[in-house]
Amino acid sequence: METSSPCIVISDEEQGYDLDLFCIPKHYADDLERVYIPHGLILDRTERLAREIVKEMVGQQIVAVCVLKGGFKFFADLLDYIKVLNRNSDQSIPMTVDFIRIKSYSNGQSTGEIKVIGGDDFSTLTNKNVLVVEVTSLKCFFSYAVLKDIIETGRSIKTLLQLVKQCNPNMIKVASLLVKRTRSDGYRPDFIGFEIPDKYVVGYALDYNEYFRDLNHICIISETAKEKYKA
Amino acid sequence: MEKGIVIKDDWPGYSLDLFTYPEHYHDDIECVYIPHGVVMNRVERMATYIKDDFGDNNIMVLCVLKGGYKFCSDLVEFIKILGRNSDKYLETRVEFIRLKSYMNDQSTEDLHIIGSRDLSFLRGKCVLIVEAIVDTGKTMKALLKHVETYEPKMVKVAGLLVKRLPNMAEQLTDYVGFEIPNRFVVGYALDYNEYFRDLNHICVISKTGKMKYKV
């Protein structure tokens, strides 16, 4: 397994910041414990990831594939930074985008088989440089099933990659904003924003039952909120 | 009065290879101490404290050049955004004063005002002094003394960075962005002999950098 480039490692002891030190929507005052990763830090890190990606994926047209639903915000910001690099350098690479959702066959068991919903025909990936963009590469985000596809996505990335490989792309890379340190199946994306401990986080790209989409920092959710916004 | 975001003595900063920065500073910086994005998020919060305190008064900003220009520009922008959502027109006017107080990385005693010393535009106004870094506090103390001679209505001080030293410095600053240990930092308009102003993150200068750009 190739080693991926360095990432920001957030230690287990890291407490984050007091909510009062940053701007937070008032309606979430009781729903959050701490600010864990400020929005500005996410953007700065994403800017660097964009540079790493462009350096490695030069040469062929890039097809950027966004894994919904959580991936959208990160995908948009990452691509904006890639576009800035493209328009300011001698070499610019054409880039197309696509959006997919991954659903596992819902029989209550994890067979590893997945269904890819949406997206263009995978044959369009032949000979291209494919960049799969996801938010979190993790085994199990919430310990209780909220949305099956969020839980399944982590396990399914490997299966997705196998499917994509069958179409003979020039290269496939995966960019993940967050990776949980507790992940045990040995899979590691090529480009990682932050490696974090096993904490309940929301905000930026991570919603909780559709809540917190309007929160730009990544924060630790409070116990009250877990109950309040339960499915 | 809030302490701001406290950065501990043993905070090592982030490795350079985790962020983007101008290539010409490659050997000159040790680490990224405070990323630009975090600075922006904190400045946005400071703007809300300031807007709350100044209330219905027009704000007369006194920006301390050159180091204060980025902080001032971003802070005033956030204050204006808050103002856009109010039903009253509140003016935020910006004036500038140029001070020189560092030689290499050592703070000097005296207040050197470059250009005009005349601050009569402050008379009767609610003044917000905007300074990038408050170190020993000697400069800020001297500046406050000078400002008071023009009889403003009220004076507050916003400091993006305040050094944690056992002296008066902390009490002088009403709005603190980050409380930092006694390290020499550059970037976000803070310079070392005029270098590093074009670096957007706040970074710690390396030994190589100190020697290279020494005066």
> Among partner residues B14, B41, B48, which is closest to A40 by beta-carbon distance?
B41
> Mean of the per-residue pLDDT values for chain B?
88
Listed by number, the residues of chain A in 40-99 with a beta carbon closer than 8 Å to a beta carbon of chain B are 40-45, 47-48, 51
- Contact B44/A at CB under 8 A: yes
Q: Which residues of A touch B17 (CB under 8 A)?
A: 5-6
Contact between A40 and B14 using a beta-carbon 8 Å cutoff: no
The residues of chain A scoring below 70 in pLDDT are 1-4, 69-70, 103-113, 136-156, 183-186
- Confirm if B172 and B66 have CB atoms less than 8 A apart: no
Residue B22: alpha-carbon gap to chain centroid:
22
Least reliable range by pLDDT among B87-91, B145-149, B201-205, B208-212: B87-91
- What residues of chain A lie within 8 A of the CB of B77, using their CB? none
Q: Is the pLDDT of residue B171 over 50?
A: yes
Alpha carbon B141 to chain centroid, angstroms: 15
Contact check, Cβ <8 Å, B41/A6: no
| Nearest residue to A195 (alpha-carbon basis) of A182, A205, A181 | A181
Report chain B residues whose CB lies below 8 A from the CB of A42: 37
Cα radius of gyration (chain A): 18
The CA distance from A150 to A162, in Å, is 19
Weakest-pLDDT range from A97-101, B52-56, B127-131, B151-155: A97-101
> Are the beta carbons of B42 and A21 separated by less than 8 Å?
yes
Q: For B98-124, what is the mean pLDDT?
A: 76
**Per-residue pLDDT tens over the stretch A12-32:** 999 999 999 999 988 898 999
Q: Do B37 and A8 touch (CB under 8 A)?
A: no
| 3-state SS, residue B24 | helix
Distance (Å, whole) CA B44 – CA B82: 10
Query: Which of A156, A177, A183 is closest to A72 using CA atoms?
Result: A177
CA A21 – CA A26 distance, rounded (Å): 13
Question: Could you give the dihedral angle defined by the CA atoms of residues B118, B121, B126 and B132, in that order, rounded to the nearest 10 degrees?
Answer: -50
A17 touching chain B per CB within 8 A = yes
Region B88-94 average pLDDT: 78
What pLDDT is recorded for position A184? 60
Any idea which of A182-196, B7-21, B60-74 has the lowest mean pLDDT? A182-196
Phi-psi category of B115—alpha, beta or left, where left has phi over 0 and alpha has psi -120 to 50?
left
Record the pTM.
Answer: 0.81
Q: How far is CA B10 from CA A194, B7, B17, in A?
A: 21, 8, 20
Nearest to A121 by CA among A177, A71, A171, A164: A164
Least confident of A144-153, B81-90, B194-203: A144-153
- When pLDDT is averaged across residues B28-49 and rounded to a whole number, the result is 96
DSSP 8-state assignment for residue A185: S
**Interatomic CA distance for residues A118 and A100, integer angstroms:** 5
Taking Cα atoms as reference points, which of A1, A49, A63, A53 lies closest to residue A188? Answer: A1
In one letter, which amino acid is B22?
Answer: P
Q: Is the ipTM of this complex over 0.90?
A: no
Interface residue of B5, B16, B17, B41 to substitute, partner A, most A CBs within 10 Å = B41
Instruction: Among B12-21, B88-97, B108-117, name the one with the lowest average pLDDT.
Output: B108-117
- Torsion on CA atoms B190, B191, B195, B199, rounded to nearest 10: -20
Q: What is the mean pLDDT of residues B193-202?
A: 88
Q: Please state the rounded mean pLDDT for residues B197-210.
A: 92
Residues of B with catalytic function: 135
